Structure 1
């Protein structure tokens, strides 16, 4: 009996030490995007959130090529956390380009935003000459338009091409009208519009982003409407959501524009310990102001939004934290 009691005490001691280990500070790497971009700011906010819960916790931001690269790192278990767009996750789960095979080991920690709407700015002189006010007018207009598309590897380029194709404008139709696609990043498109080297800019970023402001302030443009069937097809293909750009968001936009918006989330893998994911979810909810404060565009973030993504299952540890907070049933 005495030996049995000693064994039970030892087992209890082991259980206590394991529990203590599970409660230890987190020390994780978050793969994001550009060093000075929004995702790097979100990384800093997440780091502050976990430090507010435990001053010894650390989330280290790692600059990468963006969501596609981060999914590759997660799929190979070479990073702890990754910032990814919902649209990129949908492609990865289905094994669609640029992924060779489905990547299925991902689990969500939390949604960070879902308000990065697709914009299609067209020069007003072309819009008026060819009677274009909606995306589906371009294909039948015969207009020789040079269209800016984000660089390969950026999901907004994939989405823009898909939406244009759904509206009847593929590359063959565009070139047949003496138009072309021009690959360029957000700020580059603004410069190209001002220099009249492209006629249309496309991107999915927050309303009032600096690149959009440059276009709005320096080029006479119209913001094209998007047909409902194009919005629905895009949301089905990419796991995105419908969105309304309010009237007068830009200086020459008197009417609201219906479109769709990309969202971004923090993702981990099945290999993360439940207690680690629980610690993250709990810290993010209880210290959400640390994340909100990184940029004015993040003021809309709230706990309900954080649990609203639907493209991935939540990690069981994070799910437990959200259930305790009354955010999930």
Structure 2
């Protein structure tokens, strides 16, 4: 079987269907076995984050179930969620906060209002996985040694659109004891792709990156000079503020293991931070057998995927629904029930 992966940043919608047609044609031309495979479109995030790594790796194993995934990376996932709900694509990596906003017709979906709320009824989840780990990074000689030192500083808090900015701000507020963007520090918004270079150019003091643990791009930062990655103190982890930050932001507690990054002056100890949660989502009209096969392909091959790509090793194989807030597809429910896996009541379709 064959999977097709396309990495692109921003293309006009008018080109999407043409590209899909060309990909299908090329795949069919590859051989009779591929011609018999079911072909589905799947949109993911950045190629260097788990929002891109998971779909790309997963596609190889979905092919073994007779499903050829046409994976398109580099997408704005709030937009992908809307395209999925409208039936314009078959699958998408969906941030739970984005689905929550769509269900209420607010945030990036405010212009669609009631239409967005109605479309959210079309979204079904297969499984959850971490999208990326929040790394609060500053230069070792910047004078920022703990979260309270962010007061009065310029802090990168994510792109102008999407859910990440609220997640980052929530973590900072909890970890610092109440600091808020706009009042206590200057929150700088910019596209993910430009953020690291802007940090290196001195445009902000603290760079909160969203990346897989062990990212080579982050490792390269210390080639310029030593860095400091801030961990959340133990005394914060038991507070209501930390619990609220995780709950509201659909975040999960995670760790950056000691020794992960060279040139990190706090790298001699495990650092607690937060990771975003993502859902692999499909349209409600997907047939049950396909949803079942897709769910099976992920969970029964996850250990192999983690062994093949070290950046996936932060995935908790026992946390199947972390952050998931869309109802499960009936086909996924069948897989979990057959596997004897308890399903939270709020996720039942």
Shorter-chain TM-score: which interval? 0.7 to 0.9
| Cα 1:181/1:310, change in 2 over 3 Å | closer
Q: Distance in 2 between matches of 1:294 and 1:85?
A: 25
Post-superposition offset of 1:41? 4.2
Q: Which of 150, 160, 163 matches 1:155? A: 163
Q: Which of 239, 248, 254 matches 2:250? A: 239
Decide whether the 8 Å contact of 1:122 with 1:221 is kept in 2. Answer: yes
- Asked whether 1:122 is paired with 2:135, we answer no
Post-superposition offset of 1:97? 1.1
Post-superposition offset of 1:292? 3.8
Q: Distance in 2 between matches of 1:199 and 1:300?
A: 28
Decide whether the 8 Å contact of 2:170 with 2:249 is kept in 1. Answer: no
Decide whether the 8 Å contact of 1:193 with 1:215 is kept in 2. Answer: no
RMSD: 3.0
Q: Distance in 2 between matches of 1:249 and 1:45?
A: 22
The aligned counterpart of 2:265 is 252
Decide whether the 8 Å contact of 1:115 with 1:243 is kept in 2. Answer: no
| Cα 1:133/1:93, change in 2 over 3 Å | farther
| Cα 1:168/1:289, change in 2 over 3 Å | closer
Q: Distance in 1 between matches of 2:314 and 2:244?
A: 26
Q: Distance in 2 between matches of 1:170 and 1:300?
A: 29
List gaps (5 residues or longer) in structure 1. 1-23, 175-179
The aligned counterpart of 1:188 is 194
Which of 1 and 2 has greater Rg?
A: 1
| Cα 1:301/1:160, change in 2 over 3 Å | closer
Decide whether the 8 Å contact of 1:162 with 1:234 is kept in 2. Answer: yes
Decide whether the 8 Å contact of 1:121 with 1:202 is kept in 2. Answer: yes
Decide whether the 8 Å contact of 1:319 with 1:328 is kept in 2. Answer: no
Secondary structure at the counterpart of residue 159 of structure 1: helix
Post-superposition offset of 1:277? 0.9
TM-score, scaled to structure 2 = 0.71
TM-score, scaled to structure 1 = 0.75
| Cα 1:218/1:88, change in 2 over 3 Å | farther
Q: Distance in 2 between matches of 1:82 and 1:295?
A: 21
Decide whether the 8 Å contact of 2:155 with 2:208 is kept in 1. Answer: yes
Decide whether the 8 Å contact of 2:49 with 2:212 is kept in 1. Answer: no
Post-superposition offset of 1:265? 2.5
Secondary structure at the counterpart of residue 318 of structure 2: helix
Secondary structure at the counterpart of residue 216 of structure 1: helix
Secondary structure at the counterpart of residue 204 of structure 2: coil
| Cα 1:87/1:294, change in 2 over 3 Å | farther
The aligned counterpart of 2:13 is none
| Cα 1:246/1:325, change in 2 over 3 Å | same
The aligned counterpart of 1:321 is 335
Post-superposition offset of 1:289? 5.5
Q: Which of 169, 188, 206 matches 2:180? A: 169
- Asked whether 1:47 is paired with 2:52, we answer no
Q: Distance in 2 between matches of 1:158 and 1:219?
A: 29
Decide whether the 8 Å contact of 1:307 with 1:328 is kept in 2. Answer: no
Q: Distance in 2 between matches of 1:155 and 1:211?
A: 22
| Cα 1:210/1:149, change in 2 over 3 Å | farther
Q: Distance in 2 between matches of 1:292 and 1:105?
A: 31
Q: Distance in 1 between matches of 2:265 and 2:338?
A: 47
Secondary structure at the counterpart of residue 184 of structure 2: helix
Decide whether the 8 Å contact of 1:277 with 1:317 is kept in 2. Answer: yes
Post-superposition offset of 1:68? 0.6
Decide whether the 8 Å contact of 1:156 with 1:203 is kept in 2. Answer: no
| Cα 1:207/1:121, change in 2 over 3 Å | same
